[in-house]
Amino acid sequence: MAFRFDDDYRARLLALPTLVRRGGGSPEGAAGGLKGGRVEFHDHRPYVQGDDVRDVDWHGYLRLDQLLVKEYAKDEAPEVVIVLDRSASMGAGGSSKDRVAREVAGGLAYVALAARCPAAVMVCAEGGPVTVGSWRSHRKIDHVLSLIEGLGDPDGRTHLAGLRHLRPPSASGRVTFVLSDFLVDPLPVEVMVAIGRGAGSGCLLHVVTEEERHPVVPEACTLVDPESHGRLVVPDGASLLQAYAEELAAHEEAVARLAGAHRIGFGRVGDVHLFERTIVDVLAERGARS
C-alpha cells in the first residue's frame, strides 16, 4: 500500500513556524542563523543629486557636516537540504520509523520555506545524493508532501558514504539535515567534511523508534538483517537484549561525538513525541532565536 500522511498532517504542518518561534527558535535562526533573505545596512557613500532623501543619514550629517547616503544589500538566504536515508534499516514502508522520518523531513522543508529559504529533499544513493525535489515558496507545500509520499518503501543498503559527493554550497551557504539511523560501520567521516562547512551548516538527526530501543525478543530466535539478509541464531534472548542495549547506546554516542567533532548539530528523532515537538526541539537546540 502506498504511503500517505495522516489527514491532519498538513494542518499541523502549517502551524509549525509559529510553534518554532514559541519554542525558543525561529525559522530564520534555525541551524546557525538562516536569515531568509533580509535587507541589511551595508555602507555609506556621498550623496549625489537624484538620491532618495529618505536614504540620507541625517545623524551622520549632524556629526560630519556631510551628506551621506545609506546603502543596503540583500543577504541571500542559505539553501536548506534535507537528506533522507532510504535504506532497508529505516523500517518497512508505513512503519513507525518510516513515518516519523517522512514527517520530520516534510516539517523541516516547510519551516525552511516559511523562512523564505530555498529547500531541497535528497535521498542517499550509491553514486552520491539524488535531489528528488526543490522549492522556493511555502505555497508549494502540496508538491513537497506529494513528493515525500511518493518516495516508495525503504529498501537496500545504506549509502551515506555517497554524501561525500555533495556539491559545494553556493555563495549564500547551505544547511544540511541528515535523517538516518547511521547503521554503517565505520561511520563515514568524509561525509562530515562534505556537510560541515562551518558551525551551523549541518545537523545529524538520529532516527531510533521505541520498538528499536526496547525490542521484544523470545528466549530463542533467529535475527535477519533487512539490508544484507544475513541470519543469526540466538539461543539466549535475555543476554542478547543486554548486549544490544549497550551497543545501541554506544552507537548513539559515537554519532553524537562525530557530529560534535565537526561542529555539526545532533538531534534525536523517535516516535514517542509528535513530529512538531521534535522539530521545535531540534531548531531550538541549534541556537535558533526569534
Check whether residue 108 and residue 225 sit in a common domain. yes
Question: In the structure, what pLDDT confidence band is assigned to residue 63 with cuts at 50, 70 and 90?
Answer: confident
Whether this prediction's pTM lies above 0.75 is answered by yes
At residue 279, the pLDDT reads 93
Residues 257, 237, single domain; the answer is yes
Is residue 91 in a domain? yes
In a domain, 111, yes or no: yes
Interval 233-285: pLDDT, tens: 888 878 888 889 999 999 999 999 999 988 888 999 999 999 999 999 888 86
Q: Do 235 and 274 belong to one domain? A: yes
* Range with lowest mean pLDDT among 129-133, 182-186, 225-229: 225-229
Residues 170 and 129 placed together within one structural domain of the fold: yes
Which distant-in-sequence residues (6+ apart) come within 8 Å of 72 by Cβ?
39, 40, 41, 42
Place of cell 528499536: 212
Are residues 94 and 58 part of one domain?
no
Using the Cα atoms of residue 180, residue 152, residue 229 and residue 245 in order, give the sign of their dihedral: positive
Mean pLDDT of 167-194: 88
140 lies in the same domain as 200: yes
- Structural domain contains residue 17: yes
> Is residue 4 in a domain?
no
Calpha distance 187→14 (Å, rounded): 35
Same domain, 94 and 172: yes
**Are residues 196 and 275 both part of a single domain?**
yes
Assess whether 207 and 248 both reside in one domain.
yes
Residues 84 and 60 in one domain: no
Of 48, 74, 100, at which residue does a domain stop? 74
Mean pLDDT in residue range 71-91: 85
What are residue 128's phi and psi, to 5 degrees?
140, 175
- Which of 97-101, 164-168, 192-196, 243-247 shows the lowest per-residue confidence on average (mean pLDDT)? 192-196
The number of folded domains in the chain is 2
Residue 195 maps to which CATH number?
Answer: 3.40.50
Domain of 57 in residue numbering reads as 39-74
CA distance 89 to 253: 19
In a shared domain, residues 227 and 251: yes
- Whether 59 and 135 map to the same domain: the answer is no
Separation of alpha carbons 149 and 133, rounded Å: 12
Q: Which of 104, 110, 204 is nearest to 163 (CA)?
A: 204
Q: Is residue 290 part of a domain?
A: no
